[in-house]
Amino acid sequence: MTGGNAIRGTRVGAGPMGETERGESAPRRRVDYWCANGHHTRPFFSMDAEVPDQWDCPRCGLPAGQDEQNPPEARRNEPYKSHLAYVKERRSDSDGLAILEEALTKLKERQGR
């Protein structure tokens, strides 16, 4: 043997990674979920974990349920509303005109008109 290194060809973390080194795996189960697009996913859950009714589909992002024939409907996304849209929901046009007149009156008083 030529003066080689005994750990030649290995790297940090290399080696047998069996249950003897990591310990026993926790008991687990697979649960089937289907989304409205027909995608099927099977995540693992611990045997003592509470299984959720819905799971996000990893392919399309839609909610997936455990009933293949009746998957949950897609969540309805509300469009982005600006600050002005929220103000218009709370105030009528007449309220807006009254507030505008009040602000203009104060501005004119400050300017000395």
Answer yes or no: is 17 within a domain.
Answer: no
* Number of compact structural domains in the chain: 2
In a domain, 97, yes or no: yes
For residue 20, is it within any domain?
A: no
Taking 70 as the threshold, does the pLDDT of residue 3 lie above it?
no
The answer to whether residue 102 is domain-embedded is yes
Residue-wise pLDDT for 15-63, tens only, equals: 665 556 667 778 999 999 999 999 999 999 999 999 999 999 999 999 9
DSSP 69-108: TSPPPPPPPPPP--HHHHHHHHS-HHHHHHHHHHHHHHHH
Give the CATH number, domain containing residue 57. 2.20.28.270
Q: Does 85 share its domain with 111?
A: yes
Structure tokens at 95: 């309220």
Residue 70 belongs to some domain of the structure:
no
Share of the chain above pLDDT 90, in %: 52
Domain membership of residue 109 as a residue range: 78-113
Average pLDDT for the chain: 85
